[in-house]
C-alpha cells in the first residue's frame, strides 16, 4: 500500500511541475513579440488549451494498474505523464491509449496477456485502498500488494463487477460523473469504434449512452488531435439543464475544446421566447418547409405595378415591369443567394435606364463613333443614378436586402404573405419575432438562402484596411525615429536594424486573440466542427438535421437516442429517414442493452408502461436490484401539497438528489421533458394519469419520468392509477 501511495503521490508531483512549466510558457507567449500575430495567436491558444487540460484532471488522476504476464506494470489515468529524464518513458498511461484497453476489456476467460487488474479508490490525492481482480489462473505470490505488504493490508480480491456496482450505487451529486474507471467492455467497443461517418448509439433509459458518447468524443480528440483541435467538437443536448448536467464529464477527462449547445443556440444572439403548438412544430420541422421559405423569398422579388419614374439629368426614365422582369430572371438564374443576387438585378436595371437616358440626352451632340466619350457619359449617369434617392427606394421595394429575422417575422405576422408562400395558417402568429426552437433551423436555412449584404461586407473590409494602414503608418513613424537615433544610441540602432519593415512592426501592435476555441465557435454561425454529438436525437426534426449537417462538412457524428422516448411530432420514427439524405451507407448502428442506472424494481414498473405504447421494444436489463420497492399513494386535492412537501423534506435529510415530476400546476414539479437524460436518487411522480393524457406522446413522457430514479420511486395520484401502474404497492399516508 505504501508503495502505491508513494507512486501516485509522485504522479501528482509531476503534474504540478508540468502545470507550472506550461503556465510559465503561456505567460511568456502572451507578452512575447518574437513572433508574428498569427503565430503568436496559435501558440497562445495551444498553451491555453494545455493549461486548462492540466488544471481539470486533479481528481482521480490515476485510477488503476495493469500487470502483464510478462511482468510489465502500467498505471492507468485520465491523462498521460512521462519521465522526461528517462527517454520520455510513460509513468501514467492515458486511458485512451491502445495499451490501456485491456484495463477495460480483459476478463478471466480472455485475460489478453494480463494477470491482474488493480483499481484504486482515492480520497483527494491519496490512495485509500484498492481492489484486485486476478485474470487467468491466479498465482498466490501475485496476490500481495506492492512493496511487500500483506494482502490483507492492501487489497480486496474483487470480481469485475464490484467497482461498477459501487459506482452505480453511489449517491448522485451535482452533474453527471465520468465512467473512465468503470467503462464496460460493450461500452469500450463503442467508444473506440473506428468509423469515420455517423455512429448511432441507441439504448433505453440508464444504459449509459450519453456518457459513452462523451467518452467517445474524448477518445477521438486524443487519437485525432491534429485533425480536430483547430475546430473542436460540438455536443447538442435537449435543454440547458441537461447540458449543465453533462458539462463536467469532458473537462474531467482533460478535454475542454468542446462546445455545448441546444438546437435553440445554433444561431448566435437569437433568444427563444415562445413554444410552438405540435402541428406548427411538425410543419416547421419537415423538409417541406423549404418550399415555403423559397416562395417567401420569391414573393419579395417584386415587379412594379406601375412604371417607376427616375429623374436622370434632364430626362425621366422609368423602371417598367418588362425591365424588372428581365432583371429578376437574370438575378434568379445567377444562382446567387437573394442579397448577393441583388447586384445582378441592379446591374440590369441600371444598364437599361442609362441606355435610355444616353439615347435621349446624347442624341445630336455625342458622336456614335466616339466610344470613349460615350463611356465617360455613361460613368457620369451611373454616378448620378447611384446617388439618386428615388432609384434606391425603388430597388428596396423591388429587390430588398433581407435578414432571416425580418423575412420570417413578416411572413408569420402577415396572412397575405403566408398565402403567397403557400404556407399553412397554423404558422400565423401575432408576434412574428416571438422565436421558438422550431424557428432556429429555418432562420439558419435563410442565412444561406439570403446570403450576406455585400455592401456591408465591403464597408467592413474597407474599415479593416484603413485600420491596418493607420497601424502601419504609426509603425513607420516609430521605425523612422529609431533609425534617426541610431547615431546617438548604438543599442537602439541594433533594434532598428532587426525590424524588417513598417508592416512587420505594425504586426507587433496587433492584440493577441486570447479567446478560447469555445468562445470563438459559439460566436460564429459559420464555424464548422470536426465531430458532433447529438443527444436525445430522436427529438430532432428534418430541419434540425440540415442545420447540424451544415456545421460538420466531414459528416462525423455520434448520434445518441431512444426512439421509444420520442416526444416531438417532428422527431425521428426511424434513424434512416433522418440520416440517409446526408450519409446513406455511411452510418452504423450500435445498441446498449444493460441498464446501469435504474434498479430492477423500478425498471419493472417502467417496462409495463413501455409495453403499452411500444410493445415491440425490449426494455434494458438492470444490473442490480436496490431492495426498495416502488410505492404509490392516493391523495385528495387537499392532501397533495402536504404529501409533496413530505417527500421533499424526507429526501433533504438523505445524501443524494431528488426531483418531483408532474404537471405544471403541481407546486414544485417539473415536466418530464425537462428531466430527459438526467438522473436522481429519488423521484416522486405526481398525477401519472394526467401525464399520460398530455398529447399523443404522453406514455413516452411517463416512461421517462419513471426511469429517472436510481434508488427510490414514489407515485402520488388523485385519480385511479393507469392500468400499467396498478402493480405498484399502495401505501397509506403516515400517521401524524
Task: Report pLDDT for 220.
Answer: 96
CA dist 705 and 672 (Å) reads 5
Query: How many CB atoms are closer than 10 A to CB 259?
Result: 21
Using the 8-state DSSP alphabet, how is residue 670 labeled?
Answer: B
pLDDT of the residue at 691: 95
Local confidence band at 52 (pLDDT 50, 70, 90 cut-offs): confident
What pLDDT was estimated at residue 46? 83
pLDDT band at 428 (very low <50, low <70, confident <90, very high): very high
String of DSSP letters for 247-262: TTHHHHTT---EEEEE
**CA 530, CA 71: separation in Å to the nearest integer?**
40
Give pLDDT, residue 494: 44
Task: Grade residue 516 by pLDDT with cuts at 50, 70 and 90.
Answer: confident
The rounded distance, in Å, linking the Cα atoms of 419 and 164 is 59
* Contact indicator for 163, 623 with CB cutoff of 8 Å: no
- Span 346-360, average pLDDT: 91
Residues contributing to the annotated binding site: 203-210
CA quadruple 505, 510, 514, 517: dihedral sign:
negative
Those residues whose C-beta lies under 8 Å from the C-beta of residue 534, and which sit 6 or more positions away, are 236, 540, 548, 557, 558, 559, 560, 561
User: How far are the Cα atoms of 41, 46, 504, 520, 661 from residue 36, in angstroms, in the given order?
Assistant: 9, 15, 8, 20, 57
What is the percent of the chain where pLDDT is above 70?
86
Average pLDDT over residues 338-359: 94
Residues paired with 126 in a beta bridge: 123
DSSP-derived pairing of the beta strands 62-68 and 73-77: antiparallel
Task: Name, of 47-51, 249-253, 414-418, 472-476, the range with top average pLDDT.
Answer: 414-418
Q: Which pairs from 408-414 meet CB under 8 Å and 24+ separation?
A: 408/296, 408/432, 408/439, 408/442, 408/443, 408/446, 409/433, 411/296
Q: Would the pLDDT of 152 be above 80?
A: no
Question: What domains can you pick out in the chain, each with its CATH number?
Answer: 1-65+74-96+117-127 (no CATH), 600-730 (3.40.50.300)
Of 116-130, 169-183, 591-605, 668-682, give the lowest mean pLDDT range: 169-183
pLDDT in tens, 389-401: 999 999 999 999 9
Annotated binding-site ranges for ATP: 203-210
Q: Say if CB 50 and CB 59 are below 8 A apart.
A: no
- The pLDDT of 492-498, averaged and rounded, is 48
**Residue bearing the bigger pLDDT, 734 or 428:** 428
Q: How confident is the model at residue 143 (pLDDT cuts 50, 70, 90)?
A: very low
Average pLDDT (587-614) is: 94
Q: What are phi and psi of 619, to 5 degrees?
A: -70, 150
pLDDT at 478: 57
Task: Give the model's pLDDT for residue 456.
Answer: 56
Question: Band of the pLDDT at 500, cuts 50, 70, 90?
Answer: very low
- Sequence-separated (6 or more) residues with CB below 8 Å from residue 671: 661, 662, 663, 664, 701
Q: Is residue 76's pLDDT more than 50? A: yes
Mean pLDDT (the chain) is 88
Q: Which of 263, 348, 202 is nearest to 550 (CA)?
A: 263
Mean pLDDT across 610-636: 93
The helix/strand/coil state of 424 is coil
pLDDT range class, residue 372, cuts 50, 70, 90: confident
Give the confidence band of 51 by pLDDT, cuts at 50, 70, 90.
Answer: confident
How far apart CA 672 and CA 694 sit, in angstroms, is: 11
- Predicted pLDDT of residue 713: 97
Sheet holding 73-77, edge to edge: 81-83, 89-94, 73-77, 62-68, 114-123, 126-134, 155-157
| Confidence band of 150 (pLDDT split at 50, 70, 90) | very low
As a whole number, mean pLDDT of residues 512-541 equals: 92
What is the model's pLDDT at position 479?
A: 54
> Could you give the CA distance from residue 1 to residue 339 in angstroms, rounded to a whole number?
71
**pLDDT tier at 254, thresholds 50, 70, 90:** confident
Whether pLDDT at 363 is above 70 = no
CA-CA distance, 453 to 364, in Å (whole number)? 41
Q: Is 550 helix (H, G, I), strand (E, B) or coil?
A: helix
Q: Can you say whether the dihedral through the CA atoms of 176, 592, 564, 730 is positive or negative? A: negative
Whether the predicted pLDDT of 497 surpasses 50: no
Residue 467 pLDDT class (50, 70, 90 cuts): low
Amino acid at each position: 500500500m505504501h508503495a502505491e501511495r508513494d507512486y501516485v503521490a509522485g504522479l501528482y508531483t509531476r503534474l504540478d511541475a508540468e502545470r507550472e512549466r506550461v503556465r510559465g510558457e503561456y505567460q511568456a507567449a502572451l507578452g512575447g513579440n518574437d513572433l508574428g500575430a498569427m503565430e503568436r495567436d496559435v501558440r497562445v491558444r495551444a498553451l491555453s488549451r494545455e493549461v486548462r487540460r492540466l488544471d481539470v484532471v486533479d481528481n482521480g488522476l490515476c485510477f488503476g494498474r495493469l500487470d502483464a504476464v510478462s511482468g510489465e506494470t502500467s498505471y492507468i489515468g485520465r491523462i498521460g505523464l512521462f519521465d522526461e529524464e528517462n527517454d520520455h518513458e510513460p509513468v501514467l498511461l492515458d486511458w485512451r491509449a491502445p495499451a490501456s484497453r485491456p484495463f477495460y476489456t480483459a476478463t478471466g476467460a480472455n485475460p489478453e496477456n494480463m494477470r491482474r487488474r488493480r483499481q484504486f479508490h482515492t480520497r483527494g490525492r491519496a490512495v485509500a485502498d484498492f481492489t484486485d481482480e486476478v485474470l487467468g489462473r491466479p498465482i498466490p505470490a501475485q496476490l500481495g500488494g506492492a512493496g511487500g505488504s500483506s494482502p490483507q493490508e492492501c487489497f480486496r480480491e474483487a470480481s469485475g463487477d464490484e467497482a461498477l456496482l459501487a459506482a452505480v450505487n453511489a449517491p448522485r451529486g451535482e452533474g453527471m460523473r465520468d465512467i473512465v474507471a468503470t467503462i464496460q467492455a460493450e461500452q469500450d467497443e463503442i467508444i473506440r469504434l473506428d468509423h469515420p461517418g455517423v455512429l448511432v448509439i441507441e439504448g433505453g433509459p440508464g444504459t449509459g449512452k450519453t456518457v459513452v458518447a462523451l467518452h467517445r468524443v474524448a477518445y477521438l480528440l486524443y487519437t485525432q488531435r491534429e485533425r480536430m483541435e483547430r475546430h473542436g467538437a460540438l455536443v447538442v443536448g435537449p435543454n440547458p439543464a441537461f447540458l449543465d448536467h453533462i458539462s463536467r464529464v469532458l473537462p474531467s477527462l482533460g478535454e475542454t475544446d468542446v462546445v455545448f449547445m441546444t438546437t435553440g443556440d445554433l444561431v448566435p444572439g437569437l433568444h427563444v421566447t415562445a413554444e410552438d403548438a405540435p402541428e406548427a412544430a411538425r410543419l416547421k420541422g419537415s423538409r417541406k418547409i423549404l418550399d415555403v421559405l423559397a416562395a417567401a423569398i420569391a414573393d419579395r422579388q417584386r415587379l412594379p405595378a406601375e412604371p417607376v419614374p427616375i429623374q436622370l439629368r434632364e430626362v425621366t426614365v422609368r423602371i417598367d415591369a418588362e425591365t424588372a422582369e428581365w432583371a429578376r430572371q437574370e438575378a434568379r438564374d445567377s444562382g446567387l443567394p437573394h442579397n448577393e443576387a441583388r447586384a445582378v438585378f441592379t446591374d440590369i436595371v441600371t444598364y437599361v435606364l442609362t441606355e435610355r437616358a444616353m439615347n435621349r440626352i446624347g442624341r445630336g451632340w455625342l458622336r456614335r463613333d466616339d466610344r470613349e466619350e460615350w463611356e465617360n457619359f455613361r460613368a457620369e449617369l451611373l454616378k448620378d443614378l447611384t446617388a439618386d434617392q428615388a432609384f434606391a427606394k425603388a430597388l428596396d421595394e423591388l429587390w430588398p436586402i433581407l435578414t432571416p429575422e425580418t423575412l420570417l417575422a413578416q411572413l408569420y405576422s402577415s396572412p397575405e404573405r403566408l398565402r403567397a408562400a403557400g404556407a399553412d395558417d397554423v404558422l400565423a402568429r401575432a408576434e412574428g419575432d416571438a422565436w421558438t426552437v422550431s424557428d432556429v433551423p429555418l432562420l439558419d436555412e435563410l442565412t444561406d438562402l439570403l446570403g450576406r449584404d455585400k455592401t456591408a461586407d465591403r464597408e467592413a473590409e474597407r474599415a479593416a484596411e484603413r485600420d491596418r494602414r493607420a497601424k502601419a503608418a504609426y509603425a513607420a513613424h516609430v521605425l523612422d525615429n529609431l533609425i534617426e537615433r541610431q547615431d546617438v544610441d548604438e543599442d537602439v540602432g541594433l533594434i532598428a536594424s532587426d525590424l524588417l519593415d513598417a508592416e512587420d512592426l505594425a504586426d507587433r501592435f496587433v492584440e493577441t486573440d486570447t479567446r478560447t476555441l469555445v468562445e470563438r465557435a459559439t460566436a460564429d454561425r459559420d464555424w464548422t466542427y470536426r465531430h458532433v454529438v447529438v443527444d436525445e436525437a430522436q427529438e430532432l426534426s428534418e430541419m434540425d438535421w440540415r442545420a447540424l449537417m451544415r456545421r460538420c462538412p466531414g459528416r462525423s457524428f455520434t448520434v445518441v437516442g431512444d426512439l421509444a422516448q420520442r416526444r416531438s411530432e417532428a422527431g425521428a420514427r426511424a434513424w434512416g429517414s433522418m440520416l440517409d439524405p446526408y450519409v446513406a451507407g455511411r452510418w452504423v448502428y450500435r445498441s446498449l442493452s444493460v441498464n446501469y442506472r435504474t434498479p430492477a424494481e423500478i425498471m419493472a414498473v417502467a417496462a409495463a408502461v413501455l409495453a403499452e405504447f411500444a410493445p415491440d421494444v425490449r426494455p434494458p436489463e438492470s444490473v442490480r436490484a436496490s431492495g426498495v420497492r416502488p410505492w404509490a399513494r392516493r391523495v385528495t386535492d387537499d392532501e397533495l401539497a402536504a404529501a409533496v412537501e413530505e417527500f421533499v423534506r424526507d429526501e433533504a435529510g438523505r445524501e443524494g438528489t431528488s426531483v418531483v415530476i408532474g404537471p405544471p400546476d403541481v407546486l414544485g414539479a417539473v415536466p418530464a421533458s425537462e428531466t430527459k437524460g438526467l438522473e436522481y436518487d429519488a423521484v416522486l411522480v405526481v398525477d401519472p394519469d394526467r401525464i399520460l393524457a398530455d398529447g399523443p406522446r404522453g406514455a413516452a413522457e411517463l416512461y421517462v419520468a419513471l426511469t429517472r430514479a436510481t434508488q427510490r420511486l414514489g407515485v402520488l395520484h388523485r385519480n385511479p392509477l393507469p392500468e400499467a401502474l396498478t402493480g405498484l404497492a399502495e401505501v397509506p399516508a403516515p400517521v401524524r
